[in-house]
Amino acid sequence: MTFQSHKFPHSRSALSVRAECPVNSPEGNVRRNPTSIGERKVIFRIHRSEEVPAIEALFTTVFTDSGTEAEGCLIGKLARDLVEGTKACELIGFAGEEGGSLVASVLFSRLTFPTDIRVCLLAPVAVHSAHQGKGVGQRLINHALNALRNEGVEFAITYGDPRFYRKVGFQPICEDIVVPPFTLSQPEGWLGQSLSSDPIDSLDGTCSCVPAFHNPVFW
């Protein structure tokens, strides 16, 4: 299963950072980046702690609409488990908000490598069906990647639809060089990009993920 929805595989992704990294910086430290949709404004910001039910509901609805009820429940629970069960220094989420409602979400969790590098897994991501096809997902991901780059994260990896993720700077990576936590069912969806001066092909080794992703069904 890959992670994307609005219909990129569940927009399944990851994040890896040093344990001491202040990745969950206050909302005020990340520029709010509005984008127009008709007469409406979507504001990009960091997730708030009280939003867990809304985050779960968004992923459940979007993945149900683009797949099945079972997939919606699975990804909704994954989102909740990530937010509630991951150490604060190993997870950061970004939201798209319109009129006080959550309309888009992307989560980045830590990927740990043998060497001391900061890598994030982007996954999952969801955009409400009413906002799909309007560039909201791409803008949200670019906003998030810029924020991570400013925090010193060196690489981002995701597992999803290459056609979508190429639009936001990801490129294929070899699973024999950057070894995922589990065997991939769709290795063509294993993608990465550098957020630093080091090229993506300088990244190698076997990575491990946060506990919420310790399930082969997600890979």
b/e map 62-81, b = 16+ CB within 10 Å: bbbbbbeeebbebbbebbbb
Q: What's the pLDDT tens digit per position in 6-46? A: 333 334 332 222 222 223 333 333 344 555 444 468 999 99
Question: 12-21+28-218 has which CATH code?
Answer: 3.40.630.30
Find the length of the chain: 219
- DSSP conformation class of 177: T
Under 8 Å CB-to-CB from 70, ≥6 apart: which residues? none
Higher-pLDDT residue of 29, 212: 212
How many Cα atoms sit within 13 Å of 25 on the Cβ side? 15
Summarize pLDDT for 91-121 with one digit per residue, the tens: 999 999 999 999 999 999 999 999 999 999 9
3-class SS of residue 43: strand
Residue range 123-139, pLDDT digits in tens: 999 999 999 999 999 99
